[in-house]
Amino acid sequence: MNQLNWSSLTDAQQAQALSRSPLIGDSGLEANVQNIINAVAEQGDSALRAFSSQFDGVELQDIALSATAISEACDRVSIEIKQSIAQAMANIEAFHSAQAFQAIDVQTQSGVRCELRSEAIEKVGLYIPGGTAPLISTVLMLALPAKIAGCQQRVLVSPPPINDAIIYAAYACGISEIYQVGGAQAIAALALGTQTVPSVDKIFGPGNRYVTEAKRIVSQDSRCVVSIDMPAGPSEVLVIADGQANARFVAADLLSQAEHGSDSQVILVTDSQGLADAVDAELAIQLTALPRQDIARDALSASRTIIVDNIEQAVSVSNRYGPEHLIIQTQNPRALLSQVRAAGSVFLGAYTPESVGDYASGTNHVLPTYGYSRAVSSLSLADFSRRYTVQELTPQGLMTLSQSVMTLANAEQLDAHKNAIAVRLEAMSEKEG
């Protein structure tokens, strides 16, 4: 990877060093995705079939998978994969079940009761990427929290032909509605609905730049009312490593993200020139053994190694970048955790590769990318529910609060707000009289 010395860079050069892949930001992307969404809105299933033929090379007969097709796909999945899915499910369920919401019920003052409650989102759409790497694990990361949260309708979409293990994972998580559609057209179908695909209240799942752009557009489309989980685009990882880190481990972690796609980005930040050189040597060795080496090599071309003065500066660089995944391979990684201000998920120590979070440690691998980790959280059980407040006042509670409310309403020149209090005070006065 291209090596840069952080302290010798100008402000502009530092900003450029932390810029994302140039494959993001196609000027024609928004227009192309908008055209796809409009076609789905106007033509429904016909558009889905046409786009499937155009983009996936598949002539779809049935958009929805039948119960028989689901059963047959499950039968074709090996016992080894099923056992691996079961172990991952157990850990993911344990971690997400522990996130169950606890209602809040507070008396803010005498006669004034305020509550914070939560209920599951009724209809959710789960997008599972397919393409060159069918993400079986993403099914678990989305479907299990949706089930635990209690979402009544859970709809899964994935590009055709859907991998058998994706279908099995969905079935194991209690999903029976599976639709063979991917890309921006799948997002449009979930948002707007078609003759076959139902519309949902919220869309979850990562995808390529077309999927990410489609999610952004439909969340602002006046033809539907749908929300999205987060901006989740191409994969990225930043590794902080000191001179004692294992170069072989670091290179393997960088490549584990680089193989996701040509638009993935990996960054190594280290205070050791020796480690940087050793990692480069390891990358060359390990890259040749990867079946997806061409993809990984493309991703590495937009990636870099940043040499810093010390590990504290490395954390500062990481916070400025705001990585999706942050791996800390230093002598005392947990000591740095309190300094981390922006990361979707953090992996501490030499024996915590990012791969465990992708599959089976229990945490969720749907994470904010492109720097959004500075303000957006990793996916959790809370994302599958909506929270709402409740307030209840007694007559005495209203009486004691009335003057403050009327004074503030008067100051804001909102007379109807003030009057809503005043008419009640008058009624209470008349009743007493």
Would you state the structure tokens that stand for residue 170, as one six-digit string?
Answer: 């969905």
Tell me whether strands 112-120 and 385-393 are parallel, antiparallel or unpaired: antiparallel
Is 392 an annotated catalytic residue?
no
Task: Give the C-alpha separation, 119 to 28, whole Å.
Answer: 40
Whether residue 308 contacts residue 225, with contact meaning beta carbons closer than 8 Å, is answered with no
Tell me which residue of 299, 302, 239, 319 sits closest to 275, measured CA to CA: 239
324 is catalytic: yes
Closest to 188 measured CA to CA, from 210, 164, 208, 162:
210
Catalytic residue, candidates 213, 325, 354, 365 = 325
Of 213, 282, 324, 354, which is the active-site residue?
324
Mind telling me the catalytic residues? 324-325
